[in-house]
């Protein structure tokens, strides 16, 4: 911009088309037409466009890596509560974002935000929610009741105990009509997940460290089975305790390769698990380490760049990427 246009030269420059005489421009000769018909087409040279695409992809990846580092670097004391994601009534601050670093152990706020965003995006795309995600507080309540040393630990729930989790007036839809209900679980410093299928009354246990569970974990499985049976009755007043019995199944999902990726596996369960065997003899793929790292990056960067993120423009400007990743 701002450059002066040069005067056109009388002689043709490289790549330009010489001006033809008026008669030739209006009525080209038959020999010129025949010559163009007999001309062998020159193959397009795509090497240049491929190089350009590679350069663009490399630049985009570099900028994405820059944004990922910006969102997951250790925050200074005065930055911990500054907001990274604000949408759909959920908030993630820099302290939460830090748990999405390559070897970070994701916290409950990340799990909560991911579930809410998944449900809102499904509703926006399909008009309904078929995969409901309980907040981690649901299982926390089950664990809290289980840890009580008196008879109240087995006291049946009433609607007031779980209204925030199941009532259509609170959620905007009937979760009993959902195909799957997920309950992400933090227990003994490890993330796992329960997936309930209301239609077939099956409660699945999805755990990336499924071959190592304690007696306390087995007790939690039994407590979750009992609580979901109570939920069925509360969601369907016509049911009784006798005909609300459910089956608990432990699923053979791929095992995590370290001690810090369990939360990422739970996020993938919530995103794609449906009980179908699609990956050889498993219901989930056996992720490689680089794939898990890519999930971490794509999730946090995707949330920050989300059109509904109220602080999106502010953050991209702070990261020096406004107008580059938009």
Report mean pLDDT in 10-residue bins for the chain, 326 residues.
44 40 39 45 54 60 94 95 96 98 97 97 95 97 84 81 93 93 96 96 94 84 95 88 91 92 97 93 92 96 96 95 75
The model's pTM: 0.80
Radius of gyration of the chain (CA): 29
Spatial CA neighbour of 135 closest among 108, 158, 167: 108
Q: Where in the chain is the domain with CATH 3.40.395.10?
A: 128-283
pLDDT, residue 154, reads 75
DSSP assignment of 110-179, as one string? HHHHHHHHHHHHHHHHHSS-SEEE--HHHHHHHHHHHH-SSGGGGPPP-HHHHHHHH-HHHHSS-GGGSS
Which CATH number applies to 128-283?
A: 3.40.395.10
């Amino acid at each position: 911009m701002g450059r002066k246009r040069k005067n056109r030269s009388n002689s043709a420059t490289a790549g330009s088309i010489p001006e033809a005489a008026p008669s030739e421009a209006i009525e080209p000769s038959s020999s010129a037409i025949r010559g163009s018909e007999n001309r062998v087409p020159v193959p397009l040279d795509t090497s240049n466009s491929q190089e350009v695409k590679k350069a663009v992809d490399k630049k985009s990846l570099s900028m994405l890596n820059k944004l990922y580092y910006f969102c997951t670097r250790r925050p200074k004391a005065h930055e911990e509560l500054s907001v990274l994601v604000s949408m759909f009534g959920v908030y993630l601050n820099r302290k939460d974002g830090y748990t999405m670093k390559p070897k970070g152990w994701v916290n409950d706020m990340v799990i909560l935000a991911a579930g809410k965003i998944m449900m809102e995006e499904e509703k926006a795309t399909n008009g309904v929610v078929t995969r409901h995600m309980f907040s981690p507080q649901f299982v926390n309540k089950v664990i809290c009741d289980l840890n009580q040393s008196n008879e109240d630990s087995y006291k049946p729930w009433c609607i007031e105990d779980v209204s925030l989790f199941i009532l259509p007036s609170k959620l905007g839809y009937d979760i009993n009509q959902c195909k799957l209900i997920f309950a992400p679980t933090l227990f003994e410093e490890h993330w796992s997940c329960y997936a309930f299928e209301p239609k077939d009354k099956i409660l699945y246990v999805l755990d990336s460290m499924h071959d190592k569970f304690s007696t306390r974990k087995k007790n939690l499985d039994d407590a979750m089975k009992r609580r979901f049976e109570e939920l069925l009755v509360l969601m369907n007043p016509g049911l009784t305790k006798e005909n609300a019995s459910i089956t608990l199944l432990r699923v053979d999902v791929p095992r995590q390769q370290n001690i810090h990726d369990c939360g990422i596996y739970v996020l993938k369960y919530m995103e794609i698990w449906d009980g179908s065997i699609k990956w050889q003899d498993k219901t989930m793929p056996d992720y490689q380490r680089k794939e898990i790292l890519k999930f971490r990056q794509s999730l946090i960067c995707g949330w920050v760049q989300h059109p509904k993120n109220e602080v999106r423009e502010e953050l991209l400007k702070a990261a020096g990427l406004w107008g580059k990743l938009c």
